[in-house]
């Protein structure tokens, strides 16, 4: 069996897109390992895959403060500065990744696009051991090529003014972050740390992408896998030669977050829906706690009021809402759970209200459920994901801060009563059916060593 390692970023949302790929690979006689921090060990092994614990975090991504806080350093700032000057995070990462390579002997390593700096760490090993390497985009692509708006914006490609505005807003945020770090850490910002290691590790400059991107570092000349159909992305732009769309690959085993409260309530919910011919709205803002919990709760209060007025059933799956459900008004139309088996709920839903995570969008399309997007987590991709859903006519976008109850009600009624949304979802699902496991394996075979 051919050993393959997935170096995943921190978050279930970064692991989930890799699992269906891993299942395909294991069927094709590969031995798949996941590698990351201890926190995700149980989750990955419960899906039947081996897990290698890394006692380090990617370098060049600003993790110094987090690491020193976890280690309970007395003076966090001076510890952060010292770590940036002496490259402590890089050295720890190098030690743990090289130990992983020596133990697992991978022939292929797949690196999450966010932590592409792991390529810098591994470069000499990739060359000397002839290890094939690839990048995976658990989020949709972050590169800003001509014709594709930034992935953290709601702009459509036809609106050139909005695209330019979104591009320069992205660049301005990057510059502000860099300037703040330079001032705070005596010029030792993330880019300085990355550039220093690029030089010391003798990484050829042609590997560093010149395409604007909202990550600290991205590659070119290395094959990159995008778990989505090309048709889901915006039209009229030319993907980079090494960017390969694989289609939505779903494997529901990893998504079955069950709990006894849901299992006991679910039959009654279905009974009420069927006997009274009620619409079922499912609402979720992701599997992780939201940094915008307050905003989410405000939106949910409005949504509860609208749902009760319209006489619909509402299922909410959200950690922030669950932990603070005492702040939400009681309603017998509403069911709140910390987690649910999302595909099972979507299969019976009429509308999905979501923050715009890639996995949620994929599952909604598979279940043929139109969407109302509220991208409350706006740092990276959810705005761009929402824009693509709206652009292709599969749903609407709301404003979590500004939408009134009447505006929410209008959007819900539109999506529930206008058959065009579901029709467009069916079209996208049909287009996705043209992507196969065999096609993916052909793309996977393109992964090459850095010296070839």
Class of domain 2-249+435-444: alpha beta
Asked if 51 and 32 count as a contact pair (C-beta separation under 8 A), the reply is no
Asked if 182 and 81 count as a contact pair (C-beta separation under 8 A), the reply is no
Identify the helix (H) or strand (E) that includes residue 79. Answer: helix 76-86
What are 168's two structure tokens?
Answer: 């320069």
Which residue reads 């749902």 in tokens? 307
Sign of the dihedral defined by the CA atoms of residues 290, 291, 292, 294, in that order: positive
Q: What distance separates the 2 farthest-apart alpha carbons in the chain? A: 69
Which residue reads 């890639």 in tokens? 358
CA dihedral 86, 92, 97, 98 (to 10 degrees): 80
Sign of the dihedral defined by the CA atoms of residues 180, 181, 185, 189, in that order: negative
Asked if 318 and 357 count as a contact pair (C-beta separation under 8 A), the reply is no
In whole angstroms, give the CA distance from residue 270 to residue 262.
12
In whole angstroms, give the CA distance from residue 204 to residue 189.
22
Which residue reads 């709990």 in tokens? 259
| 216 Cβ contact partners less than 8 Å away, ≥ 6 residues apart | 60, 61, 62, 117, 190, 191, 194
| 3-class state of residue 114 by DSSP | helix
pLDDT of residue 69: 97
Identify the helix (H) or strand (E) that includes residue 190. Answer: helix 190-200
Phi, psi of 193 (to 5 degrees): -65, -45
The DSSP secondary-structure symbol of 208 reads B
Rg, C-alpha atoms of the chain = 22
**Tens of each residue's pLDDT in the chain, 452 residues:** 999 999 999 988 899 899 999 999 999 999 999 999 999 999 999 999 999 999 999 999 999 999 999 999 999 999 999 999 999 999 999 999 999 999 999 999 999 999 999 999 999 999 999 999 999 998 777 788 887 899 889 999 999 999 999 999 999 999 999 999 999 999 999 999 999 999 999 999 999 998 888 888 999 999 999 999 999 999 988 888 899 999 998 765 544 566 788 999 999 999 999 999 999 999 998 755 556 778 888 899 999 999 989 999 999 987 655 555 556 666 788 999 888 999 999 999 999 999 998 989 999 999 999 999 999 876 678 999 999 999 999 999 999 999 999 999 999 999 999 999 999 999 999 999 999 999 999 999 999 999 76
Phi, psi of 20 (to 5 degrees): -60, -35
In whole angstroms, give the CA distance from residue 321 to residue 325.
5
Do strands 132-136 and 224-226 pair parallel, antiparallel, or not at all (unpaired)?
parallel
Residue spans per domain, the chain? 2-249+435-444, 258-432
pLDDT of residue 138: 86
Sign of the dihedral defined by the CA atoms of residues 112, 359, 21, 441, in that order: negative
Asked if 194 and 208 count as a contact pair (C-beta separation under 8 A), the reply is no
With 0-12 CB in 10 A as exposed, 13-18 as middle and 19+ as buried, what is 322? middle
| 200 Cβ contact partners less than 8 Å away, ≥ 6 residues apart | none
With CA atoms as reference, report the closest residue to 102 among 35, 47, 157: 35
Phi, psi of 52 (to 5 degrees): -110, 120
Class of domain 258-432: alpha beta
């Amino acid at each position: 069996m051919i050993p393959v390692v997935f170096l995943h970023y921190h978050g279930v949302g970064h692991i989930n897109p890799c699992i269906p790929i891993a299942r395909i690979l294991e069927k094709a006689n590969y031995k798949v390992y996941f590698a990351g921090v201890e926190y995700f060990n149980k989750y990955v092994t419960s899906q039947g895959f081996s897990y290698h614990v890394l006692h380090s975090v990617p370098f060049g991504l600003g993790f110094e403060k987090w690491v020193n806080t976890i280690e309970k350093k007395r003076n966090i700032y001076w510890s952060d500065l010292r770590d940036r000057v002496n490259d402590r995070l890089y050295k720890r990462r190098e030690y743990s990744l090289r130990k992983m390579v020596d133990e697992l002997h991978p022939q292929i390593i797949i690196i999450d696009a966010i932590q592409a700096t792991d390529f810098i760490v591994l470069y000499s090993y990739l060359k000397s051991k002839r290890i094939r390497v690839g990048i995976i985009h658990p989020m949709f692509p972050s590169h800003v090529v001509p014709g594709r708006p930034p992935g953290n914006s709601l702009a459509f490609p036809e609106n050139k003014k909005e695209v330019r505005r979104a591009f320069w807003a992205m660049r301005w945020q990057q510059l502000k972050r860099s300037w703040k770090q330079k001032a705070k850490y005596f010029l030792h910002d993330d880019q300085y740390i990355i550039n220093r290691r690029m030089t010391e590790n003798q990484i050829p400059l042609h590997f560093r992408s010149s395409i604007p991107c909202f990550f600290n570092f991205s590659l070119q000349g290395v094959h990159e896998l995008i778990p989505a159909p090309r048709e889901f992305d915006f039209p009229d732009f030319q993907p980079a030669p090494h960017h390969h769309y694989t289609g939505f690959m779903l494997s529901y085993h990893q998504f079955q977050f069950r709990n006894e409260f849901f299992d006991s309530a679910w039959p009654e919910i279905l009974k009420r829906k069927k006997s009274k011919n009620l619409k079922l709205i499912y609402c979720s803002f992701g599997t992780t706690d939201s940094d915008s919990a307050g905003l989410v709760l405000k939106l949910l209060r409005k949504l509860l009021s609208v749902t009760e007025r319209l006489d619909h059933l509402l299922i909410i799956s959200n950690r922030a809402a669950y932990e603070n459900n005492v702040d939400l008004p009681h309603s017998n139309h509403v069911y709140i759970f910390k987690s649910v088996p999302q595909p099972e709920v979507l299969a019976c839903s009429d509308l999905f209200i979501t923050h715009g995570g890639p996995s949620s969008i994929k599952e909604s399309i598979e279940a043929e459920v139109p969407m109302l997007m509220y991208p409350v987590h706006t740092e990276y991709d959810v705005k761009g994901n929402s824009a693509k859903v709206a652009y292709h006519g599969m749903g609407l976008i709301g404003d979590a801060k500004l939408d009134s109850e009447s505006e929410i009600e209008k959007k819900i009624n539109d999506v529930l009563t206008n058959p065009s949304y579901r029709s467009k979802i069916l079209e996208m699902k049909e287009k996705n059916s043209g992507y196969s496991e065999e096609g993916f394996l052909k793309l996977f075979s393109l992964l090459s060593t850095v010296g070839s």
